Structure 1
Amino acid sequence: MDKQELGAFLRTRRERLRPEDLGLPSGPRRRTPGLRREEVAVLAHISTEYYVRLEQGRAPRPSGEVLAGIAGALRLTDVESDHLHALAGTAPSRTGLHRRDVRPSILALLERLPQTAAFVTSAAFEVLAWNELAAALMEDFSVLGPLERNLARRAFLGSRKVDGSLYGVSDAAEFRHHVVMELRTTLTRYPTDPGITGLVDDLYDGSPEFARLWDRHDVQAAPMLTKTFRHPAVGEITVDCDSLALTDRDQHLVLYSAPAGSRDAEALALLNVIGVEGVSARPGG
């Protein structure tokens, strides 16, 4: 049970709610945002003293029934409720290190998708495997070390780019928020993995934006359905985004594609012909 993290999570979820959202009077005397602790306790059918101790990190492990009551009182989503149980130690969690080895069948699949930019990421956002079109669209990952292939570091610390740009994508801010939420749940699954804890520490210390988002304790990631790249060789390309969970290794297969016959599909086909070397050879590449 991570008492301090549990308390912080409860506090941020409580502060985001408005009394009127739950049919409670807002009143003129509220000095802090969100619900009062006693209001959450009443809605969760527990004592105010016990709930206060939970937020302060001083209470013993709550039962599943108590957690369910608190989740209902705070209007938590399913993802947030699962995170609450994990923090309280009532949900199964992985131990040891996150996996970085990619299944051979997935590696073979990457090469069978010539019109789709495809790559595999680890639970820590490291790009583990990719096909040639992904390299042409984003960058040549083969010349990078593991730290430089990490999309979380790339997004927040601007690895290899002074301006910190993320391949010219249109939704860089949304992606950074997505990274923070995913890393928070990843840290819950791998609390002793130095690759995860070190990454979070580096991002927190090196990026004020990451620290601000991290302190919000959000865990509900919105799906990213499309993404627009501003590519130096072929201009803007808008692609459909699909992320498939490889649950046995806690990895994701990410696919960027475009509708057949569209201008974006033609741009991807051109990139497939140009390849990484052709992109790098262009001025500014």
Structure 2
Amino acid sequence: MPRTELARFLRDRRARSSPRGYGLPEDPPRRTPGLRREELAALAHMSVDYYTRLEQARGPRPSARILDGLARALRLAPAERSHLFRLAGTGLPPAADAVRQVRPQVARMLDRLPGTAAIVTDAAYGVVAWNPLARELLGGGPGDPREEGTRNLARRRFLGAGRPYDGASAEEFGHIVVARLRRSADRYPHDPALAALLAELRDGSAEFRRIWESRPVHAPGHRTKTVEHPVAGRLRLNCDVLLVPEDDQEVVLITADAGSPTARTLRDLAAGLP
């Protein structure tokens, strides 16, 4: 039965994988949707015969290396990757890299929140999407010479990129950032970009090193922060986090108390955006 379920899962995901997304020609029209077996086998670095036997529920149980190759070739989300390993009855190794692309439906959601500043962060606290109000509120983005720094909230917090929080907000956020980065380091021990970020933070911030050694534990949730905007001045903001567990990402919704001066400022900032 497990082999049958694994075979069904592979056939289904192969049929859903658009050749165009892999840069493969679709002419002449294909008789069946999705990738061909030989195409997926090549992408997963295995023989066509071996892959065919997997889809036919034959042959030995696939190794973790084989399954990881299939997960990469099929571009499975973390939850789908975990499901693949469970179906195969094989222990799940850590994912190699954090997901750094936002799902289109999540990105579209940000555009439907005109009165709310919203960002999406990956497991390394990189900003993978944000709406215009968030960009105006937090600073950075295209055309900013510090864009690389400002698009990562850990760099903003510990290396001085971007607009500062006040003392209390900065202290709390620093512990939140380190707690999440510690979880990510355990989850993605072979992610080179994450390793480079951690090395940069260790080299550049004694505060980061101190907090890292304290092993903080924080869960995402509601937070209140105060930031300094170069035009609008001091703003008191509410931050609420929604999880995208399949991709290990967080959607941060930034608002203000109704009727407050900050709420009026956010409204004015939004009105002035192109």
Instruction: Provide TM-score, normalisation by structure 2.
Output: 0.61
CA distance in 2, matches of 1:99, 1:110: 18
Partner of 1:137: 137
CA distance in 2, matches of 1:93, 1:119: 30
Change (3 A) 1:241 1:159: closer
Q: 2:257 aligns with which of 245, 259, 263?
A: 259
The DSSP-based 3-state class of the residue aligned with 1:215 is: helix
Partner of 2:98: 98
For residues 46-195 of structure 1, the aligned pairs below 5 Å read 94-144=94-144, 145-159=147-161, 166=164, 171-195=169-193
CA contact (8 A) 1:167 1:231 kept: no
* CA displacement 1:239-285 (0-9 Å, x = unmatched): 22101111111111000112333322211001112338xxxxxxxxx
Which AA in structure 2 matches 1:185? R
Q: CA RMSD in A?
A: 2.3
* CA displacement 1:102-146 (0-9 Å, x = unmatched): 111111111111110001111001111111110111113233544
> Which sections of structure 2, spanning at least 5 residues, go unmatched?
1-90
Matched, 1:209 2:211: no
Aligned residues: 182
CA distance in 2, matches of 1:191, 1:182: 14
The DSSP-based 3-state class of the residue aligned with 2:95 is: coil
Percent of aligned pairs with the same residue? 42
CA contact (8 A) 1:121 1:253 kept: yes
CA contact (8 A) 2:165 2:225 kept: no
CA distance in 2, matches of 1:141, 1:229: 18
Change (3 A) 1:169 1:105: farther
CA contact (8 A) 2:175 2:218 kept: no
CA contact (8 A) 1:230 1:237 kept: yes
Change (3 A) 1:129 1:268: same
Matched, 1:240 2:241: no
Change (3 A) 1:261 1:204: same
Which AA in structure 1 matches 2:199? D
* CA displacement 1:196-221 (0-9 Å, x = unmatched): 11111111121111111111122345
Deviation at 1:168, TM superposition (A): 5.7
Which AA in structure 1 matches 2:160? G
Deviation at 1:148, TM superposition (A): 3.8
Which AA in structure 2 matches 1:233? V
CA distance in 2, matches of 1:185, 1:147: 21
Which AA in structure 2 matches 1:234? A
Which AA in structure 2 matches 1:256? I
Which AA in structure 2 matches 1:218? P
The DSSP-based 3-state class of the residue aligned with 2:120 is: strand
> Which sections of structure 1, spanning at least 5 residues, go unmatched?
1-90, 277-285
CA distance in 1, matches of 2:262, 2:218: 30
Partner of 1:225: 223
CA contact (8 A) 1:133 1:272 kept: yes
CA distance in 1, matches of 2:235, 2:158: 23
